[in-house]
Structure 1
Amino acid sequence: MIQTFTKLCLILLPLLFSLEVSGQKYEAENATLSGGASKIACSGCSGGSAVAQGEGSITFPVTLAAEGFYNIYIRAAAPNGDKINRFEINGNTLDFSFKQNKQYTTLQLVRAQKLAAGQHQVKITKSWGWIDIDYIEFEKVAGSDRFDLNQTLVTPNPTQEATALYNFLLDNYGDKIIAGAMTLESFDEANWLKENTGIEPALLGIDFMHSGRNYTWYNDKTPIHDAKTWYSRNGIPALMWHWRDPSRQTEEFYTRNSSKPNGTAFDITKIADPNSAEYQAMLADIDYIAGLLKELQEQNVPVIWRPLHEAAGGWFWWGAKGPAPLKALWHLMYDRMVNHHGLRNLIWVWTREPNDDAWYPGDAYVDIVGRDIYKDGDHGSQTLEFSDMNNRYGGKKMLTLSEVGSFPDVENLVRDEAAWSWFMPWYGAYTRDSKYNSLDLWKKMLGHEYVITLDEMPELSRYERQDQVEEPSEPTGLWDKQKEKASFIAYPTLVESTLTINSIRRIDLVAVYNTQGKLVRQQKVGANAATVSLAGLVPGLYLVKTNQKGAAVQVVKK
């Protein structure tokens, strides 16, 4: 009996040990230390030692056996207070934070980071410094586990057009990136790109900055006109709001401080007092902008809506007093626009700042999360930012480069599989000056198959999820009454041998039936156009259907 138990232990102990080690660990004490980082004893650490960072750096030589997606963890303590530091791998950087804690805890730095097989240089460098590091760990995971995206909008009963736009974003997420450009005057940067590259971006950034201020030199309906015009061309209107001082004491949106002495001192904390003048001023502005957005809804135009951006940065008045009043204002705006004004055409975008978890309005109020990144001349994919954000939001929210100074090189995006939904450089020099983005890089970007431009957009108002299309339904006979229009065209109607089919949306399957409803031809397509051979069919009338909703098209085989 004892021998049997001993044998069982010998079998089980290695299995139990393997459960503890889920990835590749790299001990800090075995790394290269510099700048004052030093090895310290640590009885509770995995190797019996740790590294006190001080104001120094720790460099880990990491070797991965296989290409794939990796979760990356760090085990550390912050005995001297809350600390922010920087994680770097292969030149990509990410800030991370530890709350004050003398106990060692494990923090997931990034989720599902794409890494090649072979050598990688990983560094922990000082931002504030002064954490004690036990180890870093790499855990290989399936790429399919990266995303668990919300399939519906947070707005109840959204408009058909808003749903169609969101579905388009979902379908392309991780497969392609949408090209965007911010405008100052009507279509200025889009026009500049057209003139200099021959191609226009698919997404157009538009600002309510001047609306509602009674400026004699400005037409408040300009953003509405631009959004409607762009959408009529199957472009995506992305509206934001540099919200000027609601009290009208200044015309500023920047917070008053030593560097902005003429900024606004508007007090957002009054959001807690509905009877205050400040609350009423905010409400009046929200109502005014809601009225403009409602005009777009009445004209069947959906909107990417990105208010209260970069809040945690503190440089705008809506972020000057911390997370609580900001979240209250976001919730008020959502409730007022959606429930009071009945806006159903908005796709709500939250703009994240580093270490702003306490500011997030909540999953029930946000459809997409953006990040504004200004790193002059950096055309990296911002892959660590992407992986960090994907981790923070549980893979449930699509992520976007809502503003950039220098946009990522498309080759880096494809290599790193940083699945940003769209990118949008700011207007002026950020779009036109080679210091930020060269014309050659623009041409490379807009001409690449991974990048969606305006000329490649489908008819958005009729867009359907491509992974939810139906198989062609079998007609019951020639005389079926067709109540719908066909979603494609087929020509010539008098066919000798080859039929050409074109559609505004991708066609996955074409089926041809005779007048008795029998399937006589079927062809997989996977594109917006196809040619189908009718050679060998007896002369007569045939019905052509695709997997898209809509009526069949009748053709005659000669």
Structure 2
Amino acid sequence: MKKILLLLLIATSSHCQVYAQELSNKNATKATKALYQNLHKLSKKQVLFGHQDDLAYGVGWKYEPGKSDIKETVNDYPAVYGWDLGKIEHQREKNLDGVPFDKMREYIKTAHQKGAVITISWHADNPLTNGSSWDTAHHTVKSILPNGEKHEIFKTWLDRVSVFLQSLKNAKGEEIPVLFRPFHELKGKWFWWGRNTTSPEEYKAIWRFTVNYLQNQKKLNNLIWVYNTNEFDNENEFLESYPGDDVVDVLSFDQYQYGIEGKKKFINTVKKQLDITTKLATEKNKLSAFAETGFENIPDPSWWTGTLWPAIKDYPISYVLVWRNAGYMPSTKKMHYYAPYKGQASAKDFKKFYQNKKVWFEKMLSTKNLYQTK
């Protein structure tokens, strides 16, 4: 009897483990499924470090082959590379941050070949007003839903997004898996899909339409769907606009530190939000992630080991990504960066952060083939 019960327990445990690693898209490519499963396994012990636009530019340089501010600091690259598709909807040559899409494609291929992970967001312009992502004066999402006045335009934009995503192929011609994070920071008021102009029902509807269109109409089976929010204090607020387990793979949020005096608030807020996010991810058999974070210009010399790590160390998140290193921005007349560069005030502490065996960069990640199942 005990033997039978033991076998049942093992079978049940095994079934739950497989279920926990299933993507919402049952037709996902083998490599995409493998990545999702392997990220699940890694997240129990390690967190991957990511950086936005890492290979394209940094503080004081642009488009230098093989260069990276992270590499200049710790002689290694990030494990996760973030990119953005803003302006692809207009078939522009460069994205909203000036990165040529042709270069972006090559950077993605290079990182993938080395075993790293790719995540992509989309700061789409406002299809109702032709303004930017930050044009929030109108109820835009309503206009792009089926039967909306801008629905056909939005479909055309999705067509253009799909062309780029389908062009991401490895040396064998296979589609490169992408953690896709559209309509991010949904609880904010600064994007046209934000809470001030979009009801939870509208957000759910446009998310589900986008997933259905890209997967079923455009046959994109290399996407892992990342639901991303911010400014939430409880589970109900996190899930208010949640579109459903069948169209989401990763639960994530964004949170930044503002000012030296904001250290304690940042740590406490991140812990509270990770309590909620990781609990829900476990219950829903999803991955969790800290999709965007940072402290602009990192004036705190011990921020990495004294603030970021204490905030995330107790949670099973798949990755944490800091935002881009734009350097000096003439438009704002100030420096704008979120990762250290050689000689930066927090560079020494970042080296200590890098030595943490629980934080993985590209070298350690390359010892594991995330895109294959054993």
Q: Which interval holds the TM-score relative to the shorter structure?
A: 0.7 to 0.9
Match of 1:447 in 2: 355
Q: Secondary structure at the match of 1:246?
A: coil
Whether the 8 Å contact between 1:187 and 1:226 is mirrored in structure 2 is: no
Q: 1:395 to 1:334 in 2, by over 3 A?
A: closer
Match of 1:164 in 2: 34
Match of 2:155 in 1: 283
**Which structure: greater strand fraction?**
1
What amino acid maps onto 1:172 in structure 2?
L
Distance 2:54 2:88 in 1: 13
Q: 1:348 to 1:322 in 2, by over 3 A?
A: same
Match of 2:287 in 1: 398
What amino acid maps onto 2:165 in structure 1?
L
Q: 1:462 to 1:286 in 2, by over 3 A?
A: closer
Distance 1:217 1:271 in 2: 24
Q: Describe the superposition over 1:31-62 as per-residue Cα deviations: whole angstroms up to 9, x where unpaired.
A: xxxxxxxxxxxxxxxxxxxxxxxxxxxxxxxx
Query: Is 1:357–2:229 an aligned residue pair?
Result: no
Q: Secondary structure at the match of 1:318?
A: coil
Distance 1:456 1:221 in 2: 28
Larger radius of gyration: 1
Q: 1:149 to 1:352 in 2, by over 3 A?
A: farther
Query: Is 1:194–2:71 an aligned residue pair?
Result: yes
Query: Is 1:369–2:251 an aligned residue pair?
Result: yes
Q: 1:221 aligns with which of 97, 102, 108?
A: 102
Query: Is 1:253–2:133 an aligned residue pair?
Result: yes
> How many pairs are equivalent?
308
CA shift for structure 1 position 331: 0.5
Which structure is richer in relative contact order (CA contacts within 8 A, separation 6 or more)?
2
Q: Describe the superposition over 1:189-224 as per-residue Cα deviations: whole angstroms up to 9, x where unpaired.
A: 870111122121110001111323244666433432
Q: 1:217 to 1:350 in 2, by over 3 A?
A: closer
Match of 2:179 in 1: 304
Mapping 1:10-159, distance limit 5 Å: 150-159=20-29
CA shift for structure 1 position 157: 2.1
Match of 2:298 in 1: none
CA shift for structure 1 position 454: 0.5
Q: 1:430 to 1:331 in 2, by over 3 A?
A: same
CA shift for structure 1 position 184: 7.1
Query: Is 1:211–2:88 an aligned residue pair?
Result: yes
Q: Describe the superposition over 1:114-148 as per-residue Cα deviations: whole angstroms up to 9, x where unpaired.
A: xxxxxxxxxxxxxxxxxxxxxxxxxxxxxxxxx99
Distance 1:267 1:300 in 2: 32
Whether the 8 Å contact between 1:203 and 1:237 is mirrored in structure 2 is: yes
Distance 2:276 2:345 in 1: 25
Whether the 8 Å contact between 2:87 and 2:94 is mirrored in structure 1 is: no
Q: 1:338 aligns with which of 212, 215, 223?
A: 215
Query: Is 1:464–2:353 an aligned residue pair?
Result: no
Whether the 8 Å contact between 2:72 and 2:341 is mirrored in structure 1 is: no
CA shift for structure 1 position 348: 0.7
Match of 1:420 in 2: 317
Distance 1:184 1:248 in 2: 32
Whether the 8 Å contact between 1:149 and 1:395 is mirrored in structure 2 is: no
Whether the 8 Å contact between 1:367 and 1:398 is mirrored in structure 2 is: yes
Q: Describe the superposition over 1:519-547 as per-residue Cα deviations: whole angstroms up to 9, x where unpaired.
A: xxxxxxxxxxxxxxxxxxxxxxxxxxxxx
CA shift for structure 1 position 422: 0.8
Taking structure 2 as the reference length, what is the TM-score of the superposition?
0.74
Distance 1:196 1:433 in 2: 6
Gaps of 5+ in 2: 1-16, 60-66, 296-302, 326-336
**Which structure: greater helix fraction?**
2
Q: Describe the superposition over 1:269-321 as per-residue Cα deviations: whole angstroms up to 9, x where unpaired.
A: 124442x4311111111111012111225533111111110112132112222
Taking structure 1 as the reference length, what is the TM-score of the superposition?
0.51
